């Protein structure tokens, strides 16, 4: 089985890659740093000798690089069984007061990169009548955060894309799931003094992904919401 993961060298993406490699998935991954990718690929293959892992440095804010990553995947794998759109960026700010570049950057990374990859690999899955798309959204998609206006808008867009694809692809035997984590301890919280016990761990999101992939043929979790025990931070 072959899986594609975007934003895979840090946080949730890294945790997902580790769990999927341990479960026997071959991986095609991307991030913006090729040396980090190379080291991570080697580590995953060293820990899991039966799997193949390839990576390409990709800035998901650049559409041409996203397209190049898709071509890279197709060069290495004859088919993609699982697509996990995880790459994301968070910029705080209110819609009325933030610089418009906040929206532009987050729209490219949080939504358009996933949209492009869903179209490329979703068509292949539709033709094959098999596959799984998992989009890592955010609780902000259903509980708007006014202090992160554009982030909320872009995650709402990704959530909407996931819902539409679910309806488009269900008759073709392709599964689609949205995972909506709350406050998760990733690099976005670097330097925080909040105890880590108040956050969701990236591994929790990875476990949710593995849960989806290990379900029966007739099962499709539409969405999974993961909240911090003590509430959103």
Q: Which two tokens stand for residue 184?
A: 């998760």
Residue 55's nearest CA partner among 32, 22, 78, 82 is 32
Residue 132: active-site member:
no
Instruction: Give kind and range of the element (H or E) at residue 68.
Output: helix 63-76
HSE of 44 in the Cβ direction (CA atoms, 13 Å)?
29
HSE of 26 in the Cβ direction (CA atoms, 13 Å)?
12
Is the distance from CB of 166 to CB of 141 less than 8 angstroms?
no
Q: Say which residue the tokens 């095609």 belong to.
A: 28
Instruction: Give kind and range of the element (H or E) at residue 27.
Output: strand 26-31
C-alpha 164, offset from chain centre? 17
HSE of 167 in the Cβ direction (CA atoms, 13 Å)?
5
Q: Which two tokens stand for residue 231?
A: 């509430």
Q: Does residue 130 sit in helix, strand or coil?
A: coil
Q: Which two tokens stand for residue 106?
A: 């987050």
Q: Does residue 82 sit in helix, strand or coil?
A: strand
Catalytic-labelled residue, pool 91, 151, 159, 211: 151
Q: Which residues are catalytic?
A: 151
């Amino acid at each position: 089985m072959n899986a594609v993961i975007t934003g895979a060298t840090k946080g949730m993406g890294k945790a997902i890659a580790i769990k999927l490699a341990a479960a026997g998935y071959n991986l095609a991954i991307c991030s913006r740093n090729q040396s980090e990718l190379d080291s991570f690929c080697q580590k995953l293959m060293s820990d899991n000798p039966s799997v193949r892992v390839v990576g390409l440095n990709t800035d998901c804010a650049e559409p041409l690089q996203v397209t190049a990553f898709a071509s890279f995947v197709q060069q290495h794998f004859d088919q993609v069984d699982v697509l996990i759109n995880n790459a994301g960026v968070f910029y705080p700010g209110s819609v009325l007061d933030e610089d418009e570049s906040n929206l532009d950057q987050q729209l490219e990374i949080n939504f358009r990169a996933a949209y492009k990859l869903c179209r490329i690999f979703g068509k292949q899955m539709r033709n094959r009548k098999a596959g799984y798309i998992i989009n890592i959204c955010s609780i902000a998609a259903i509980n708007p955060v006014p202090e992160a206006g554009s982030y909320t808008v872009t995650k709402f867009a990704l959530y909407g894309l996931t819902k539409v694809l679910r309806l488009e692809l269900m008759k073709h035997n392709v599964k689609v799931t949205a995972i909506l984590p709350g406050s998760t301890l990733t690099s976005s919280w670097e330097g925080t003094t909040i105890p880590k016990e108040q956050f969701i761990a990236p591994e929790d999101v990875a476990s949710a992904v593995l849960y989806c992939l290990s379900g029966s043929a007739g099962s499709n979790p539409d969405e999974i919401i993961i909240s911090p025990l003590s509430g959103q931070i």
